[in-house]
Chains A and B, each alone.
Chain A
Amino acid sequence: MKNYKMAWRNLWRNKRRTIITASSVFFAVFFALVMRSLQLGTYDSMYKNVIESYSGYIQVQDEEFWENKIVDNVFKNTEELQEKIKEVRNVEDVIPRFESFALASSGSRSKGVLVMGIDPQKEKLLSDVEDKLVEYRLTDDAINAIKSEDIPDYLAKNMDLFAGNSYSSDGRLQIDLGIKESDAESLMPIIEKYASIDNGYFNMGDNAALVGDRLSRYLGLERGDTIILIGQAYHGYTAAGKYVVEGIVTIPNPDIDNKIVYLPVDVCQNLYYANGMLTSMVVHLRDNDDDAIDNTMERLDSKLESPYRVLGWKEMNKTLVQQLEADDKSGIIMIGILYLVIAFGVFGTVLMMTAERRREFGVLIAIGMQKTKMAGVMVYEMLYIGLLGILAGVAVALPSIIYGYHHPIHFPSKFAKIWEEYGFEPVMAFQWIDKYFLSQSLVVAIIVLVAVIYPVVKIRKLKEVNALKA
């Protein structure tokens, strides 16, 4: 009989043993995958947040601007430059930006803010500010009013938990408040009646501003109010202007949400006395793959000379990248520990199995089976068990991860506040099936292969006489 066939039969001779060993592998794979997916996914969502709401993947700036973000370090927005960038492969479009700092004031309150001049239409390609306009705001008044209506208990409880939050979509609101599909039809109109917020967008040339949600609350701004911006303009002129708040936007990154004011780019240029100038051009890409980004950056770099500078998202978000890299290292250590535990678990079961079957081995060798063949069968057995465990692990992890990918975990508000204080969005997301699936499975497979050395060595050293007595 062939080795692999014999091994397969051996496995099912003692089902329980096989299942125990396989399940230790299964858990190893399952936990490693879910943990890694959660970790990578959370990093990814953090990166995406800051990239897609702020920096973009690649920016072209004046070479001085990054080190010294003053309005004097700007460049002229020419058709020629735009064309030059657009000619590069993988570049879809360029999005103009004019960003600077100002003191914003409304009534008696004032605060330092980040003023961002955007092209209201083109910006939709990237940070889509219009999509981030607040639709619902769970103010205390709104919550009390909703509570006075006929609503289920869980909604009242969840509203207290998420009091003060703002939402730019029905979806997220329903997830947070735990509104079921079946209830949505009856409950949403009530929520809409009391918590919905009227918001508008702006066009080029409008003397209008969009304000971050947290900032708007600090300054006490609502739609139709006036926001005043004062700062230093190009070449030391005074930048001063008043704008009508057209809308309130909620930005996932709390740090930005706390300080952002959007203006139409031409209005912003006028405020800073820098007509036709930009602080940066965000390069919109067709393909956002890590490799594609690197390639596009290289091509842009070789094409644009001084005084331009090409910056990648990693450079623009250095602190976040470093923070997450450090976190990633600790995550890898955690997974290493998990592997260690798993390795000992697998090894333990193998050890037990070998001891258990000592007599069996002895008998087989006594009746003439070769040790090499026996070891071969053993290796096959272990491979089967490993494969079984890995496949089962992947099979179970897959739907969990797919589910998690579509339903990210939102922290309840108590923890959320802590996360937000660190400047993170309080969401844990899963990473879509990717390279890590292979590497995690491979590591577990290697553990199994290492564990198999023990029975093989044991078989080679086996003394039939002693084994038979066992």
Chain B
Amino acid sequence: MKKKLLTIVLFSFYCLFLTAQDATEIIKKANDKINGEESSFSIMKMTIIRPEWERTLEFKNWTKGTDYALTLITSPARDKGQSFLKRSTEMWSWNPTISRLIKLPPSMMSQGWMGSDYTNDDILKESSVVEDYIHEITGEDEIEGRLCYRIKMTAKEEAAVIWGHQVRWIDKDDYLFLKAELYDEDGYLVRTELGKNIETMDGRLIPTIMEIIPEDEEGYKTIVEIEEIEFNIPVEDGFFSQQNLKRVR
């Protein structure tokens, strides 16, 4: 009897461990898929939609591992040439109009990037969906005809993240981020992200359009469209330097 009980206890622990491991694994797979295991280069188009106006930005994006990221704006003319750099925990911005390199304070991470609903944190990926959260599968849902894991991600105590928790829906077969709900520390829904238009790019099946819809602002929306993406490109660490930030084209 005692033995049986112990087995049950051990087994349930094992199951718990297994699911936790699974959830993290799923998130990691999905994250690697869209960001590249080693590195990536992409050209993206961002449309900011507001009740009275909308505008479009185009930018190039280089990433390497979780430590390095560089973003360069290529359009419109007025913003062209502005670039952003992330090196581990430090973030810099270069503005050619004033020829100044500005260090972005951590307090600016939750602010909208270039006036969009995307935060600086989203662009520079200061926080990691894999390392900064505790993951837990809470169920399965069907989104746009695809069966998805529903994973609740609770921010780790010590992690510098701007969200309290997230709920993400990840395609079971192809590990695609199809939907995410992001909540603040008080548990209020702040915004919803939707992955759409699933296509094959650089040999991978990925959602090529991401929509961001803030919760409390009527008529606000940001759409990011991947125009071109290459995974695991050869790129030196030295590429992500302050000097290159000013030079990159």
A-B contacts, CB under 8 A, total: 43
- Check A236 against B98 for contact (C-beta < 8 Å): no
- Check B95 against A230 for contact (C-beta < 8 Å): yes
Q: Is B157 interfacial (CB 8 A cutoff)?
A: no
- Check A230 against B102 for contact (C-beta < 8 Å): yes
CA distance A273 to B95 in the complex (A): 16
Which residues of chain B have C-beta atoms less than 8 A from A105's C-beta? 100, 102
Comparing B33-41, B48-56, B139-147, B229-237, the segment that makes contact with chain A is B48-56
Q: Is A242 interfacial (CB 8 A cutoff)?
A: yes
Taking chain A's interface residues, is the majority helix, strand, or loop, or is none over half, making it mixed? strand
In the complex formed, the residue of B with least CB distance to A226 is B98
Which residues of chain B have C-beta atoms less than 8 A from A84's C-beta? none
Q: Is A219 interfacial (CB 8 A cutoff)?
A: no
Known A-B contacts A72-B52, A273-B78; the reply to A235 vs B115 at CB < 8 A is yes
CA distance A238 to B116 in the complex (A): 12
- Check A237 against B53 for contact (C-beta < 8 Å): no
Q: Is B8 interfacial (CB 8 A cutoff)?
A: no
Which residues of chain B have C-beta atoms less than 8 A from A235's C-beta? 48, 50, 53, 55, 115
Q: Is A112 interfacial (CB 8 A cutoff)?
A: no
Interface 1/0 per residue, B90-106 and A, CB below 8 Å: 00000101101010000
- Check A237 against B100 for contact (C-beta < 8 Å): no
Interface 1/0 per residue, A211-249 and B, CB below 8 Å: 000000000000000001010100111101110000000
Interface members, chain A 258-306 (any B CB < 8 Å): 273
Partner of A236, one of B82, B95, B100, B116: B116
- Check B82 against A238 for contact (C-beta < 8 Å): yes
Q: Is B114 interfacial (CB 8 A cutoff)?
A: yes
Q: Is B67 interfacial (CB 8 A cutoff)?
A: no
- Check A241 against B52 for contact (C-beta < 8 Å): no
CA distance A215 to B95 in the complex (A): 24
Which residues of chain B have C-beta atoms less than 8 A from A240's C-beta? 95, 97-98, 100
Q: Is B132 interfacial (CB 8 A cutoff)?
A: no
- Check A236 against B48 for contact (C-beta < 8 Å): yes
Interface magnitude class on chain A: 10 to 19
Q: Is B215 interfacial (CB 8 A cutoff)?
A: no
CA distance A237 to B95 in the complex (A): 12
CA distance A349 to B55 in the complex (A): 82
In the complex formed, the residue of A with least CB distance to B82 is A238
Q: Is B79 interfacial (CB 8 A cutoff)?
A: yes
Known A-B contacts A230-B95, A230-B98, A230-B102; the reply to A238 vs B52 at CB < 8 A is no
- Check B114 against A238 for contact (C-beta < 8 Å): yes
Q: How far is the CB of B148 from chain A (nearest CB, A)?
A: 32
- Check B95 against A238 for contact (C-beta < 8 Å): yes
- Check A241 against B98 for contact (C-beta < 8 Å): yes
Which residues of chain B have C-beta atoms less than 8 A from A228's C-beta? 98, 100
Q: How far is the CB of B131 from chain A (nearest CB, A)?
A: 31
Q: List 20 A-B contacts (CB under 8 A).
A: A228-B98, A230-B95, A230-B102, A235-B53, A235-B115, A236-B48, A236-B112, A236-B115, A236-B116, A237-B55, A237-B76, A237-B79, A237-B115, A238-B78, A238-B95, A240-B98, A240-B100, A241-B97, A241-B98, A242-B97
Q: Which 3 A-B pairs have the closest CB atoms?
A: A236-B115, A240-B97, A240-B95
Known A-B contacts: A235-B115, A237-B114. Give 8 more (CB < 8 A).
A72-B50, A232-B115, A236-B115, A238-B78, A238-B95, A240-B97, A241-B97, A242-B97
